Chains A and B, each alone.
Chain A
Amino acid sequence: QKEVEQNSGPLSVPEGAIASLNCTYSDRGSQSFFWYRQYSGKSPELIMFIYSNGDKEDGRFTAQLNKASQYVSLLIRDSQPSDSATYLCAVKGNTGGFKTIFGAGTRLFVKA
């Protein structure tokens, strides 16, 4: 079992819709969860982080964490074509030097 799993996609949504990206992780001791956006040919950039169970909102983005289910998600409201990118879920454990484990990413395509 991969340590951090994401559906590779592509996930295709129409402009203005809500895009829902999901991630599961295997290490129950994980404490920190990050969502990075990566445009084609570019480097990852952080868009959200969450440490506590529940929801965290930042503009059009909402991160949701459920530690009991080992599940973290990212909702993008009012999706725009500029949101088309690969979204990487990253999980940081509490051992081994706090190494960050990345999922393989979900490709999102927002149709105009």
Chain B
Amino acid sequence: NAGVTQTPKFQVLKTGQSMTLQCAQDMNHNSMYWYRQDPGMGLRLIYYSASEGTTDKGEVPNGYNVSRLNKREFSLRLESAAPSQTSVYFCASSEAPGQTYEQYFGPGTRLTVT
């Protein structure tokens, strides 16, 4: 099992450009998440999908959109990148959204917006 995979690993964008971060999991998990991690800020939830066909906003959703393509895949789109979106982005999945289920993280995408 590959677990949670993310593409690309690194990306540099100019302000105003758009891009989609891809995430896939092969653990048959129902729930998937997108986080960003900035120095001193910890992980902040951008969007999550409790189950296939549903998506909800997290703590910092502005400037992002998501698509739960199927049970395996959950993509994050930046429509018009801004320097404030320079960060490390992690995708995660869990068996279910309930309290007892821990999250498994992908390797991350390091995004720089100039």
Which residues of A pack against B, CB within 8 Å? 4, 8, 31-32, 34, 42-46, 49, 51, 88, 90, 92, 94, 97-105
The smallest C-beta distance from A98 to any residue of chain B, in angstroms, reads: 5
A101 contact set on B, CB distance < 8 A:
45
B42 contact set on A, CB distance < 8 A:
4, 88, 102-105
Docked-complex contact B107 and A100, CB < 8 angstroms: no
B99 contact set on A, CB distance < 8 A:
31-32, 51, 92, 94, 98
Given known contacts A43-B90, A88-B43, A104-B40, A99 and B58 CB-to-CB distance under 8 angstroms: yes
The distance in angstroms between the C-alpha atoms of A97 and B48, with both chains bound, is 9
Chain B interface extent, by class: 20 to 34
A100 contact set on B, CB distance < 8 A:
33, 45, 103
Docked-complex contact B40 and A98, CB < 8 angstroms: no
Docked-complex contact A97 and B105, CB < 8 angstroms: no
Docked-complex contact A97 and B90, CB < 8 angstroms: no
The distance in angstroms between the C-alpha atoms of A105 and B41, with both chains bound, is 8
The smallest C-beta distance from A104 to any residue of chain B, in angstroms, reads: 4
B104 contact set on A, CB distance < 8 A:
46
Q: List 15 A-B contacts (CB under 8 A).
A: A4-B42, A8-B40, A32-B99, A44-B43, A46-B102, A46-B103, A46-B104, A49-B100, A88-B42, A97-B50, A97-B97, A98-B98, A98-B99, A102-B43, A103-B42
The distance in angstroms between the C-alpha atoms of A43 and B23, with both chains bound, is 14
Docked-complex contact B102 and A43, CB < 8 angstroms: no
The distance in angstroms between the C-alpha atoms of A31 and B45, with both chains bound, is 19
Query: Most B CB atoms within 10 A — which of A45, A100, A105?
Result: A100
The smallest C-beta distance from A89 to any residue of chain B, in angstroms, reads: 9
